[in-house]
């Protein structure tokens, strides 16, 4: 179950749907809005075999109105063995429905980021009370979110971490020449506060002043509400000639930049409204291709990489510490090469999509009314 499907920024939902269908499960998608994918995503084709069950709730309809409609429309869920909801607020809608219609399928909810961090910041995780009672399993994407959910009342025994993963067949390791210059840096993300791109720019401004002879370039891919402000920051800095804003790019072009960059920057921060990362898939993709990921001690990111071993971590909102990391690695090509290989190994062992799908499938079977057969699922994100 999802709000909008398919969604370019939530391709993990499509990947799960594809993976479960390939394993023989019948998967149907319940969504509020059917969207049109863009930017050259190469594998939307399998969507042709899916029938979105629902596209009927206006995005800005009042909360109570949406819940009332859900209660009217819930009977069709009875044909499924298990319901999988992406994001806590979607799980809460199904849980509210289940509380008024006994006999609906078991509910498994995956919690990704703002549905935990922002809601927690606003003191509202207690709003998930019905979900905590009705849900068969609660699967946050990192351990920090698990702690928040348990503290708010989620049953400890039914709350387990389920990491996202990536399809390693799409992200081949590409060895770099770590002595080559310019040193290529890349960020691919929405230009929002929690991505910390302003801190990356500030760190590079510091680095330029400390090492003026170092040859480097920085590509920023993506759009968002902070795009104009970040462009202004670059224009007012000492590094404007080294930084290029590309805006959103097709997947193939992003992949080309990813496989030739040396360092992937994502110095994430907790936003003013409490929004936080889960574990960014973009970091996984960068590590898989052989780039060294540079990020922060933020949310679940330390579960993905160990500082100085499989990646580089600085404190949040500390451009000077970030600049210090960059200064150190620029002078250590052998260390970077080793770190890149360890980063790839980390993804292979802990964040491979097939392994994570094994774990999710086990959770769905455990929750299912008929765990002995391929279980129809209804996915919502």
Residue 207 and residue 120 in one domain: no
* Confidence (pLDDT) at 78: 80
Residue 116 and residue 186 in one domain: no
Residue 231 and residue 313 in one domain: yes
User: What residues make up the domain containing 293?
Assistant: 169-350
Residue 201 and residue 220 in one domain: yes
Distance CA 315, CA 289 (A): 25
**266 closest CA partner among 304, 309, 231:** 304
* Confidence (pLDDT) at 379: 52
Residue 182 and residue 112 in one domain: no
Residue 40 and residue 93 in one domain: yes
Contact yes or no for 266/295 (Cβ under 8 A): yes
* Confidence (pLDDT) at 77: 79
Structural domain tally of the chain? 2
* Confidence (pLDDT) at 61: 39
Residue 260 and residue 336 in one domain: yes
Residue 71 and residue 214 in one domain: no
Residue 366 and residue 337 in one domain: no
Residue 254 and residue 107 in one domain: no
Contact yes or no for 293/245 (Cβ under 8 A): no
What are the angstrom distances between the C-alpha of 164 and each of 113, 140, 231?
A: 12, 10, 32
Per-residue pLDDT of the chain (381 residues; tens, 9 = 90+): 566 666 655 677 888 888 999 999 988 887 766 665 544 444 434 444 444 443 333 333 345 545 544 554 566 778 889 999 999 999 998 999 888 888 889 999 999 999 999 999 888 898 999 999 999 999 999 999 999 999 999 999 999 999 999 999 999 999 999 999 999 999 999 999 999 999 999 999 999 999 999 999 999 999 999 999 999 999 999 999 999 999 999 999 999 999 999 999 999 999 999 999 999 999 999 999 999 999 999 999 999 999 999 999 999 999 999 999 999 999 999 999 999 999 999 999 999 999 999 999 999 999 997 666 655 666 554
Joined together, the tokens standing for residue 324 give 């210090």
For 52, counting Cβ atoms within 10 Å of its Cβ (0-12 exposed, 13-18 middle, 19+ buried), the class is middle
* Confidence (pLDDT) at 210: 97
Residue 184 and residue 93 in one domain: no
Distance CA 374, CA 362 (A): 11
Distance CA 38, CA 40 (A): 6
Joined together, the tokens standing for residue 159 give 């709350």
User: What CATH number did the domain enclosing 111 receive?
Assistant: 3.40.50.2000
Residue 329 and residue 363 in one domain: no
Task: Say whether pTM exceeds 0.85.
Answer: yes
């Amino acid at each position: 179950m999802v709000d909008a499907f398919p969604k370019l920024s939530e391709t993990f939902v499509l990947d799960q749907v594809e993976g479960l269908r390939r394993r023989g499960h019948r998967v149907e998608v319940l969504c509020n809005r059917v969207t049109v994918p863009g930017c050259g995503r190469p594998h939307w084709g399998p969507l042709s075999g899916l029938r979105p069950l629902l596209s009927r709730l206006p995005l800005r309809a009042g909360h109570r109105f949406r819940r009332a409609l859900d209660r009217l429309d819930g009977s069709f869920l009875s044909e499924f063995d298990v319901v999988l909801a992406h994001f806590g607020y979607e799980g809460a809608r199904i849980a509210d429905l289940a509380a008024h219609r006994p006999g609906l399928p078991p509910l498994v909810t995956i919690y990704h980021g703002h549905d935990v961090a922002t809601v927690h910041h606003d003191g509202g995780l207690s709003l998930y009370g019905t979900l905590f009672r009705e849900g068969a399993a609660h699967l946050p994407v990192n351990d920090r979110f698990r702690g928040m959910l348990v503290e708010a009342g989620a049953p400890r025994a039914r709350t387990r971490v389920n990491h996202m993963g990536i399809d390693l067949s799409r992200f081949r390791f590409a060895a770099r020449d770590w002595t080559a210059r310019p040193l290529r840096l890349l960020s691919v993300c929405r230009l929002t506060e929690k991505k910390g791109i302003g801190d990356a720019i500030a760190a590079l401004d510091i680095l330029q002043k400390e090492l003026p002879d170092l040859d480097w370039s920085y590509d920023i891919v993506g759009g968002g509400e902070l795009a104009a402000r970040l462009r202004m920051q670059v224009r007012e800095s000492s590094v404007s000639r080294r930084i290029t804003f590309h805006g959103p790019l097709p997947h193939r072009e992003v992949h080309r930049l990813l496989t030739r960059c040396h360092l992937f920057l994502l110095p994430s921060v907790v936003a003013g409204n409490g929004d936080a990362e889960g574990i960014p898939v973009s970091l996984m993709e960068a590590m898989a291709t052989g780039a060294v990921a540079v990020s922060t001690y933020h949310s679940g990111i330390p579960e993905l990489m160990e500082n100085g071993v499989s990646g580089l971590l600085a404190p949040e909102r500390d451009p000077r510490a970030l600049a210090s990391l960059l200064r150190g690695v620029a002078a250590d090509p052998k260390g970077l090469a080793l770190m890149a290989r360890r980063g790839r190994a980390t993804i292979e062992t802990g964040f491979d999509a097939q392994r994570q799908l094994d774990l999710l499938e086990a959770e769905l079977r455990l929750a299912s009314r008929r765990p002995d057969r391929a279980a129809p699922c209804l996915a919502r994100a």
